[in-house]
């Protein structure tokens, strides 16, 4: 059951000229949120822009005693709403509805967890990494970005004990190229008897390639999709994803209710 809170901005940490992490005071959402779930954020007060925008819960923030205090959002400035989230000031309030959607399946040891992130697709993985590491799941983050300046939170993941595989498109950090290449190599090298769960979030092409690679090596794969969303509640039918049907056809599901986390195998990738 989602709640709508007028969340105070605790801190706004710029990561670059386009990326920031917004920390919001929202104990009720933080207490209920599971990794992979999202919130609908109203960045403006008036009718322009009108609609809320979906954000993955990046981190669950806790106080010193470990009690849930709020959530953070990883934001990339691309349009009017994300620009407002980028420039929000501490002390302002932002309407935040959630938590919403179906979360990731958090595996248990002896399964290994491989998280595959492209760009702002890092967004659901801080919370997921914490949940996995709390269960002592061996976790690797495959993280691809355009350039080294767009790789964020590396120390956060290292401190959690997450192994890193980095690629950049310009070769300024890690291996040059797309993140799916090292993923495929590791999938090919891995003993098929070991359990590995693949999680992915990022651009559509990366998700499709990751789902394909996981399928090739017969690994379960969950992807977090991003769609233009009207309501986040299942009311508008805007955010649909085409899913394969048994008869070879396509069935549209609402990513806000059936997702945002979906089985990579089930999606009809174009």
Residues lying near other proteins in the complex (CB under 8 A): 1-2, 4, 42, 47-52, 95, 97, 227-228, 230-231, 233-242, 250-252, 257
Q: What whole-number distance in Å separates Cα of residue 11 and Cα of residue 13?
A: 6
Q: Which two tokens stand for residue 155?
A: 């120390």
CB of 38: closest distance to other proteins in angstroms?
Answer: 15
Nearer to other proteins, 1 or 189 (CB): 1
With contact defined as beta carbons under 8 Å apart, do 63 and 73 qualify? no
**How many C-beta neighbours within 10 Å does residue 235 have?**
11
* Distances in whole angstroms, Cα of residue 171 to Cα of each of 63, 138, 209: 39, 27, 20
Nearer to other proteins, 102 or 178 (CB): 102
First to last CA, the chain: 34
CB of 230: closest distance to other proteins in angstroms?
Answer: 5
Nearer to other proteins, 181 or 251 (CB): 251
Q: Could you give the 3-state DSSP secondary structure of residue 235? A: coil
What is the DSSP-derived secondary structure letter of residue 201? E
Nearer to other proteins, 144 or 259 (CB): 259
CB of 43: closest distance to other proteins in angstroms?
Answer: 12
Question: 232's torsion region: left (phi>0), alpha (psi -120 to 50) or beta?
Answer: left
CB of 31: closest distance to other proteins in angstroms?
Answer: 17
Q: Which two tokens stand for residue 162?
A: 């997450």
Residues in CB range of 147: below 8 A, 6 or more apart? 168, 169, 170, 172, 173
CB of 45: closest distance to other proteins in angstroms?
Answer: 11
Nearer to other proteins, 5 or 61 (CB): 5
What is the DSSP-derived secondary structure letter of residue 93? E
CB of 257: closest distance to other proteins in angstroms?
Answer: 7
16-44 residues labelled b (16+ CB within 10 A) or e (exposed): eebbbbbbbbbbbbbebbbbbbbbbbbbe
Nearer to other proteins, 21 or 262 (CB): 262
CB of 239: closest distance to other proteins in angstroms?
Answer: 7
Nearer to other proteins, 158 or 252 (CB): 252
């Amino acid at each position: 059951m989602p709640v709508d809170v007028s969340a105070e901005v605790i801190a706004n940490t710029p990561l670059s000229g386009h990326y920031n992490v917004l920390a919001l005071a929202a104990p009720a959402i933080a207490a209920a949120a599971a990794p992979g779930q999202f919130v609908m954020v109203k960045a403006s007060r008036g009718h322009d822009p009108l609609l809320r925008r979906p954000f993955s819960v990046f981190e669950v923030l806790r106080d010193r005693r470990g009690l849930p205090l709020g959530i953070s959002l990883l934001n990339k400035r691309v349009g009017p709403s994300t620009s407002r989230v980028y420039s929000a000031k501490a002390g302002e309030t932002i309407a935040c509805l959630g938590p919403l959607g179906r979360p990731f399946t958090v595996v248990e040891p002896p399964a290994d967890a491989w998280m595959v992130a492209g760009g702002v697709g890092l967004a659901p993985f801080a919370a997921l990494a914490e949940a996995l590491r709390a269960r002592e799941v061996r976790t690797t983050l495959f993280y691809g970005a355009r350039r080294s300046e767009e790789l964020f939170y590396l120390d956060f993941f290292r401190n959690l004990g997450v192994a890193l595989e980095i690629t950049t498109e310009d070769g300024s950090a890690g291996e040059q190229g797309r993140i799916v290449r090292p993923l495929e190599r590791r999938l090919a090298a891995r003993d098929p008897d070991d359990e590995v769960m693949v999680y992915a979030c990022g651009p559509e092409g990366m998700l499709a390639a990751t789902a394909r690679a996981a399928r090739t090596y017969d690994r379960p794969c969950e992807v977090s999709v991003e769609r233009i969303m009207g309501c986040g509640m299942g009311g508008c039918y805007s955010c649909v994803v085409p899913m394969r049907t048994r008869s070879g056809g396509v069935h549209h599901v609402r990513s806000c209710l059936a997702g945002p986390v979906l089985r990579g195998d089930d999606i009809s990738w174009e």
